[in-house]
């Protein structure tokens, strides 16, 4: 069985971070398995968790006028989930429903914030990693919007 540090080291999100950072961040993580149909989060709930998806699939959903569970995005193996632990008011902005059984590392956002605040250099490297991921997600969303509305 792999340690949390080994699981993080093998995940693409953590590529480029020094081994010492990964070792430190691993102290905030725990292995987690969630069954299909369960919810990891609900819109408006307190958000203090960041998920590193190892296997399986989750749907980011929102509730809109006349739409229950409108899927905004589907995330799978190799992706990460949950930025709200980082930004006040630390609340989920969507529901997170497990589509296929998921194996993941659940990262404690309060622990991560504490480590980043205690070591600003670590915090900066972590923010650059998160910003890179958010930029990629925005680019993907833009392409999806263009695909839907370009016709």
Mean pLDDT of 14-31: 96
The 8-class DSSP code of residue 92 comes to: -
Total domain count for the chain?
Answer: 1
Taking the CA of residue 96 as centre, how many other CA atoms within 13 Å lie in the half-sphere pointing to its CB?
24
Condensed to tens digits (0 to 9), the pLDDT of residues 75-123 reads 999 999 998 999 999 999 999 999 999 999 999 999 999 999 999 999 9
Compute the C-alpha angle 75/87/143, nearest 5°. Answer: 40
What is the domain range of residue 61? Answer: 4-149
CA atoms of 55 and 58, how far apart (whole Å): 10
pLDDT in the model for residue 65: 67
CATH of the domain at 31: 2.60.120.10
CA atoms of 121 and 56, how far apart (whole Å): 33
Q: Are 96 and 138 in contact (CB under 8 A)?
A: no
Mean pLDDT of 64-74: 78
Statement: residue 142 has pLDDT above 90: no
Q: What rounded mean pLDDT belongs to the chain?
A: 91
pLDDT in the model for residue 6: 96
pLDDT in the model for residue 143: 79
pLDDT in the model for residue 22: 97
């Amino acid at each position: 069985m792999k340690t949390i540090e080994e699981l993080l080291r093998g995940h693409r999100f953590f590529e480029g971070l020094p081994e010492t950072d990964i070792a430190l961040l691993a102290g905030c993580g725990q292995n987690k398995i969630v069954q299909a149909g369960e919810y990891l989060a609900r819109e408006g709930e307190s958000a203090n968790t960041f998920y590193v998806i190892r296997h399986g699939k989750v749907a980011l959903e929102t509730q809109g006028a006349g739409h229950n569970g409108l899927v905004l995005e589907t995330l799978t193996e190799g992706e990460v989930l949950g930025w709200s632990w980082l930004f006040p008011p630390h609340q989920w902005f969507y529901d997170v429903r497990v589509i296929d059984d998921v194996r993941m590392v659940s990262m404690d956002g309060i622990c991560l914030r504490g480590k980043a605040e205690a070591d600003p250099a670590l915090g900066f490297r972590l923010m650059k990693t998160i910003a890179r991921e958010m930029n990629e997600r925005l680019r993907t969303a833009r392409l999806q919007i263009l695909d839907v509305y370009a016709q």
